[in-house]
Amino acid sequence: MKRIAAITMVLNDEFYLKKWVEYYGSNLGKENLYIYFDGMDQEIPSFCDGTNAFLHEKIGGSVVKSDKGRVAFLSEKASELLAGEYDLVIGTDADEIIAVDPKTGKTLSEFLSGIRIKTSVSPLGLDVGQRLGEEGDIDADSPFLSQRHYAQLSTRYTKASIIAKPCRWGSGFHRLKGHNFHIVKDLYLFHFGYFDQNKLQERLSDSDRLAQGWEKHIRKRSKTVGYTTDLPARDFDRWTKLARALQTVCRPPYALNKPGMLQMKIVVRIPERFQEIV
């Protein structure tokens, strides 16, 4: 089996980080998780016991500047891990979970150990939303995907998240500088950042995020709830197969090493087989 580490950096994200630690800890081992807290004023919660958790001087500046600073820092740390004992490093935000389709019968570590990865691989992005009028407030103690059943197929979350060689991530792990991306069948990135109206309001009330200018960004991305509420839900297996093909071939003209999907807005219903995985 390959030695796999997972790495993230967080700012006031304890709700999502707890799920991140539970999920990746159970799949990779908590000793293989590397968590950096953005600011010496942050507190390391007790559920991080057993992980490699560190406080770091706050990376300040605007949304763009702080995001670039964080991912540059994490790229350096990932390169150090790959130069050491690890074969792969998974880099994600705390509200992102990379999961294997349960129909494969494989765990995340088994799946990644069984595929050839030259430089990196990407999961297909699924931006999970809330269908208002059908789905209630999220319960942190129950599996997220037992409570949320709809997601937008999103090029934004088809990220170059899994690397096998030292390299430099672009902002938000969206791409690798100087490298193409390779989308893997049966591997998905579930983004939970905009999957609950109440959690959205909490982020919009976070003074640290507001000080960095995140309000416009959060409001723009929170359209996910509108899409999952208003758009018809398509068949998951059919449309994820099509999306994978489209995103492999189509590229936005401003970034040829990012996936494109002809600006299609497609919502799928997540199959029941995923309900207990996260």
Contact 173, 91 (CB under 8 A): yes
Q: In sequence order, what are the residues at sequence separation of 6 or more whose Cβ sits closer than 8 angstroms to the Cβ of residue 257?
A: 175, 176, 179, 180, 181, 251
DSSP 3-state assignment of 104?
helix
DSSP element (H, E) containing 215: helix 215-221
Q: What is the mean pLDDT of each run of 10 residues along the chain (278 residues)?
A: 96 93 98 96 96 91 73 95 97 97 98 96 96 95 97 94 94 84 95 88 63 58 86 98 93 74 93 96
Q: What structural domains does the chain harbor?
A: 4-274 (3.90.550)
Q: In sequence order, what are the residues at sequence separation of 6 or more whose Cβ sits closer than 8 angstroms to the Cβ of residue 230?
A: none
Give the per-residue pLDDT at 172: 83
Contact 20, 103 (CB under 8 A): no
Give the per-residue pLDDT at 50: 98
Record the tokens describing residue 189, joined without a space: 């990135």
Contact 221, 193 (CB under 8 A): yes
Residue 231: DSSP 8-state: S
Whole-angstrom distance between the N-terminal and C-terminal Cα of the chain?
23
Give the per-residue pLDDT at 61: 64
Q: How far apart are alpha carbons 201 and 205 in whole angstroms?
A: 6
Give the per-residue pLDDT at 188: 98
> How many CA atoms within 13 Å lie on the side-chain side of 137?
7
Record the tokens describing residue 246, joined without a space: 């489209």
Helices (H), 84-194: 108-113
Q: How far apart are alpha carbons 45 and 1 in whole angstroms?
A: 30
Give the per-residue pLDDT at 249: 87
Token pair 């999920």 in the structure block, residue: 23
Give the per-residue pLDDT at 247: 93
- Amino acid code (one letter) for 190: F
Q: How far apart are alpha carbons 28 and 49 in whole angstroms?
A: 15
